[in-house]
A = this chain, B = another copy of it.
């Protein structure tokens, strides 16, 4: 036979109550069960833990010593259990998110704010890597999940679509496009263009767009941040082609976002996590919040 948690709980209960019957009520077990459990524990330890007559129950010296050490150990164990339950119930945890700079700067702050409100015990860390390293970071375990657009067929990751991200035209109120509902790519010719720098995934898509309508792309300005691009557009210094999620940042600028068609260029923003590894409760909660948040970002202009 071996020492069990129940035996120790029984022992501690009796020691606390100083009385088998009272302890049996507190622990919601039958009194013989306690007698038996304590007896078994004593047999296992080879020593009497209580001096008991039918009227008095008190700890022996061995009992006192065992009570303090075993009681502490049991508390530690229960703490370990309850902390793990906290993980399971999303009261605690940590998420490391790998995201490309633009998403990290534009979408994530709002999403994280919403997430923290729902799950204040879970900390979110941003893993700052370049766009190409996101998959690697997730597969290697340096990040728990990743955001972005990835070519299909990547190995070792699972993907969840967050939103369909369409290229849009952003312009200030001075712009001739300001009144339009939709804008066609070939109309962009001749207007001063504000683009993102070459290391951005968006920039590539914009180049594809211009190529498709066979217009030369001559950036008037090259900026790193979407907000900079929006500020320049607001100031009437040019127009900019940006992803849908720039709308979030555009709320604080006097700029309008117009659907860009012919061709409509879209990509999927997905959340990825390593396949094989189980999804931690924290990540699954984060995924839920992100999906919900992404729905709110879906452009109303498409309807």
Q: Which residues of A contact B (CB under 8 A)?
A: 2-6, 8, 44-48, 51, 53, 56, 60-62, 65-66, 69-70, 72-74, 76-77, 79-81, 83-85, 87-89, 276-278, 280-281
With the chains together, A53 CA to B278 CA distance in Å? 11
Min CB gap A51→B, angstroms: 5
Contact residue among B60, B88, B278 (Cβ-Cβ distance under 8 Å from A51): B278
Please name the residue on chain B nearest to A47 by beta carbon: B88
Residues of the B chain whose Cβ atoms lie less than 8 Å from the Cβ of A81: 3, 44-45, 66, 70
User: B80 near A46 (CB under 8 angstroms)?
Assistant: no
User: B77 near A62 (CB under 8 angstroms)?
Assistant: no
On whether A60 and B280 interact (CB within 8 A), knowing A69-B79, A69-B80, the answer reads: yes
Contact residue among B45, B65, B85 (Cβ-Cβ distance under 8 Å from A45): B85
On whether A62 and B88 interact (CB within 8 A), knowing A76-B76, A77-B74, the answer reads: yes
Min CB gap A172→B, angstroms: 47
Residues of the B chain whose Cβ atoms lie less than 8 Å from the Cβ of A74: 73, 77
Among A56, A62, A66, A84, the most chain B Cβ lie within 10 Å of the Cβ of: A84
Contact residue among B45, B53, B80, B85 (Cβ-Cβ distance under 8 Å from A88): B45
Please name the residue on chain B nearest to A58 by beta carbon: B277
Residues of the B chain whose Cβ atoms lie less than 8 Å from the Cβ of A77: 3, 8, 70, 73-74, 77
Residues of the B chain whose Cβ atoms lie less than 8 Å from the Cβ of A66: 80-81, 84
Contact residue among B2, B6, B65, B281 (Cβ-Cβ distance under 8 Å from A84): B65
User: B276 near A87 (CB under 8 angstroms)?
Assistant: no
Residues of the B chain whose Cβ atoms lie less than 8 Å from the Cβ of A83: 65, 69
User: A4 near B3 (CB under 8 angstroms)?
Assistant: no
Please name the residue on chain B nearest to A53 by beta carbon: B276
Min CB gap A145→B, angstroms: 13
Min CB gap A130→B, angstroms: 25
Residues of the B chain whose Cβ atoms lie less than 8 Å from the Cβ of A87: 47, 62, 65
